[in-house]
Structure 1
């Protein structure tokens, strides 16, 4: 390569945009032992992009009015060229986004990616998860089917449990005295806006990540064994992207309604309450915890407690060992937490009756027991074991 071409290449790389791409996507120093589990972050970014793009096109044909919302969705499915694909891509894309995010969270929890100095990385990720949950909930209301309407009614009514200001909050959320046209309009506006807020929060998340670098499977300082991100991890992530595309496509083309509820293909009817109101599958864990507590205010506090535990995790952790691979006792409790989460998800879809209520209460106790007892105290116990072992 000639000296002139080298100078040209160097001057191009010094430009702000190309410099940022080079520093964060090409020459970015990455721990050499990262596994495929580190690809869920980029997959989450792809899911967010799919949701934003498909949502913009769907918004061109959707009508946010209680008399036309359901019909406009059917119009998209039946009359708009490729509308069925956009609708199924967006609806199933939400589920894919949550699948990827849950796996991303579990990977971070298993390998201790929340530990110092990555507190901001973890906390910004939890905030993104909270924003995702809110966006998905208000998006589920938009088709204006039976589950959309009654799900919105039940969940927004929970705010009434807040002392003094609860009823005022519910009225503000509804835009009136019931879930009606004003509710649908404000939910539509928020649903269009929130993904861009999530995109901004994701930039903060990435900036925090690149400040200290990624964690690694060993949980050790990887600053002495790093390689450029491109081409090694680009192609490693590419394998995950292709596998994910195949998995996603199976749902979109062959089982587009598998993860949804059939009652949402019935137009919203305020005079007919469904026999069993069930949220989308990715809300079932929190929903099971909510209904396990007979007191409404206690249930609302428990929902807040779920996200508070995740946010507090870096600050209540006492273990000096990051990776669960080297913590055999903690490993047992971790897999019990995974099983507990699956159980809560199943319970959330069951009727509100015994024995599901009792099992849900026990499962909810373990969920909080893990974060509030196991995480802060097991680290100290492990230190004591190591200390006595060295003696």
Structure 2
């Protein structure tokens, strides 16, 4: 690792007393990364950039927003119509939430395929699941703030779920509401938490990066870097790669912000909240739909709530469910097939979640829910026992330096220590 050097006396003076420049050099410039990372590894940095966009635009919006049931909806209209570029800031924030979830979901599914949750990166993975939970809580509370029809009724339905908890459920709901119905106290505390939680996410992201740099990034081959020949400095090689990915991300993001800003939202949220008129079909934001489908697929309210939270909890214990010593799905032929089934299953859950819970949609939701848990609790543990992985290369550089695919299929250690 190269040593930090500078000709600036000011930088040297500061760094001697507070080695922030040395830290940034070691962790962002000279940080050794596997030399075979693909563009699928861009989504971690994209998620960080999306978080920054959400925080900056959220602070600006909070300067104009009024957290009161009598004024919240009108304050949003004021931002859109009267505040200079208020429409732009709000559309960036509103669509930014969707794009934040898009890059995080892709980041998670990349980790699932390449085994990024396996030893010694278990805690790194668990911190990622914690970030996902915090994102979902933040997004849910933010969706309540415009105080439209879907905001109000979505908050009513979701908070009511806690009443299914035996003994203390009703007390929890009353505490969340700040009264006996969703009202002004609810809106105020949701606004406060929506403002606070992104900074909690930043703190957990810092721990996530700390854990990542402890053992380094995983890679498409899923084997550990053996030496200097398997690593390259993060800068300029991956900063350039990340910059290109960011350009593509911002281009697609801009297309939605300027040409289809309401495409990912629900039109009912442009109707002021009316406690006396229930919408015909209450639908959460698209990124909650798979979990919403799991909730509705189970007739019992308590079991439905447990299944919904269990769908996330099972991800946290995944390192102990998948005991295969081979990380990457590239060398696991049967795992690949079940991975595709899981991806299709999650898409089906998302589609079913947007439909009424009746008829064929209810049947599909129950089948998809059953397979979701079956995949993690049954399929993965059994694959670790019965699947025969393909041989692994001895090092990251071997497939490139010694004949590519021939080396990858050559005799190698049958099990690379995870």
What TM-score do the two structures reach when normalised by structure 1? 0.95
Secondary structure of residue in 2 paired with 1:355: helix
Equivalent of residue 41 in structure 1, options 32, 44, 65: 44
Secondary structure of residue in 2 paired with 1:258: coil
1:342 is the counterpart of 2:347: yes
Q: How does 1:269-288 map to 2 (within 5 A)?
A: 269-288=274-293
Q: Which position in structure 2 is the counterpart of 1:116?
A: 119
Contact 2:326 2:389 in 1 (8 A): no
Q: Which position in structure 2 is the counterpart of 1:316?
A: 321
Q: Which position in structure 2 is the counterpart of 1:144?
A: 147
- Looking at structure 2, the residues matched to 251 and 80 of structure 1 have their Cα atoms a distance apart, in angstroms, of 21
Q: How does 1:179-328 map to 2 (within 5 A)?
A: 179-224=182-227, 225-328=230-333
Q: How big is each residue's C-alpha offset from its partner over 1:216-254, in whole Å with a ceiling of 9 and x where there is no partner? A: 000011242111100000001111000000010000000
Contact 2:6 2:12 in 1 (8 A): no
Contact 1:150 1:277 in 2 (8 A): yes
- Looking at structure 2, the residues matched to 335 and 33 of structure 1 have their Cα atoms a distance apart, in angstroms, of 23
- Looking at structure 1, the residues matched to 186 and 263 of structure 2 have their Cα atoms a distance apart, in angstroms, of 28
- Looking at structure 2, the residues matched to 278 and 136 of structure 1 have their Cα atoms a distance apart, in angstroms, of 14
Q: How big is each residue's C-alpha offset from its partner over 1:302-325, in whole Å with a ceiling of 9 and x where there is no partner? A: 012111110000122210110101
- Looking at structure 2, the residues matched to 16 and 123 of structure 1 have their Cα atoms a distance apart, in angstroms, of 29
| RMSD over equivalenced CA pairs, Å | 1.7
Q: How many residues align?
A: 384
What TM-score do the two structures reach when normalised by structure 2? 0.89
Q: Which position in structure 2 is the counterpart of 1:373?
A: 378
Contact 2:332 2:390 in 1 (8 A): no
- Looking at structure 1, the residues matched to 225 and 322 of structure 2 have their Cα atoms a distance apart, in angstroms, of 21
Contact 2:333 2:389 in 1 (8 A): no
Please state how far the C-alpha of 1:293 moved relative to its aligned partner. Answer: 0.4
Q: Structure 1: 5+ residue runs without aligned partners?
A: none
Q: Which position in structure 1 is the counterpart of 2:396?
A: none
CA change 1:276–1:20 in 2 (3 A) is same
Contact 1:319 1:383 in 2 (8 A): no
Q: Structure 2: 5+ residue runs without aligned partners?
A: 392-413
- Looking at structure 2, the residues matched to 8 and 155 of structure 1 have their Cα atoms a distance apart, in angstroms, of 57
Q: How does 1:72-87 map to 2 (within 5 A)?
A: 72-87=75-90
Secondary structure of residue in 2 paired with 1:227: strand
- Looking at structure 2, the residues matched to 27 and 214 of structure 1 have their Cα atoms a distance apart, in angstroms, of 14
Q: Which runs of 4+ in 1 moved over 3 A?
A: 4-15, 383-386
Q: Which position in structure 2 is the counterpart of 1:169?
A: 172
- Looking at structure 1, the residues matched to 6 and 165 of structure 2 have their Cα atoms a distance apart, in angstroms, of 66
- Looking at structure 1, the residues matched to 288 and 226 of structure 2 have their Cα atoms a distance apart, in angstroms, of 38
- Looking at structure 1, the residues matched to 78 and 41 of structure 2 have their Cα atoms a distance apart, in angstroms, of 40
Equivalent of residue 59 in structure 2, options 39, 42, 56: 56
Q: How big is each residue's C-alpha offset from its partner over 1:317-340, in whole Å with a ceiling of 9 and x where there is no partner? A: 210110101101010000110011
Q: Which position in structure 2 is the counterpart of 1:363?
A: 368
